[in-house]
Structures are given as structure tokens and as C-alpha cells.
Amino acid sequence: PLIKYVDHSGNEFEADVDVGKTVMEGAMDNMIDGILAECGGCCSCATCHVYVDEAFLPITGTAEGMEKEMLSAVNDPKPNSRLSCQIVVNDEMDGLRVEMPESQY
Ligand code: FES
């Protein structure tokens, strides 16, 4: 599935991410800046914060539990905030657009 990563300046990067990988891994594998992922994907750093395109929220779901708690500490959290290491790519997510915050701190 093709995932679109949009940075704070509006630059768009596309990556073909394998089903089963996370949106965070897709960014790392394709050298897309804007997601730091300091903890490597174990939901403990919150430096992989993204805003999910509203149209895709029914597919990705919204943050729950631990992830939701972590998101309360990020810069400028919004209802469509997710930690990208917690979004596992599936076929339905083809065309998914995520915006990256200005800063992960
Ligand atoms: Fe650390 Fe997502 S990579 S919380």
C-alpha cells in the first residue's frame, strides 16, 4: 500500500509500505524525515507522532489506552493524532495520508 507522508511545510513523500509493517517503519525504511521513533516502535517515546487524514480514521482507528496517554504529552495533540508505530499497514490503507508535526518535541 502507498502511504503519503506530508511534512509541516506541505512537502509530500510517498512510500510503498508492506502490509504488516507500521507507518513508522515505512518512514524509516524510506528515509523520510519528520518521524524520529527514538524507542524503535515500542510506544514509549512519542516521537513518531502523526496526524491521520480524517478520511482514513475509520480504517486506522483512533488512539486508545497507552498510546492515548503518550499522546497527551506531545506538542499540539489533535483528535486525529496517532503514534505511527502503532498503525499497522493493511491493504485498506492504500493512499493513507499522514501529516507530520513541525517538531516531535
Ligand atoms: Fe516510540 Fe512510536 S516509535 S512511540
Domain ranges of the chain: 2-99
- 84 has pLDDT over 90: yes
Q: Which CATH class is domain 2-99?
A: alpha beta
| Integer angstrom CA distances of residue 54 from 9, 45, 51, 100, 105 | 19, 24, 9, 14, 23
pLDDT in tens, 3-60: 999 999 999 999 999 999 999 999 999 999 999 999 999 999 999 999 999 999 999 9
Q: What ligand 1 atom has the least distance to the C-alpha of 85?
A: 2
Cα(75) to centroid of ligand 1, in Å? 15
- 69 has pLDDT over 90: yes
Q: Which residues line ligand 1 (CB under 6 A)?
A: 24, 37-39, 41, 43-48, 83, 85
Q: What ligand 1 atom has the least distance to the C-alpha of 67?
A: 4
pTM of the model: 0.96
Whether the complex's predicted ipTM surpasses the cut of 0.90: yes
Q: How confident is the model at residue 105 (pLDDT cuts 50, 70, 90)?
A: confident
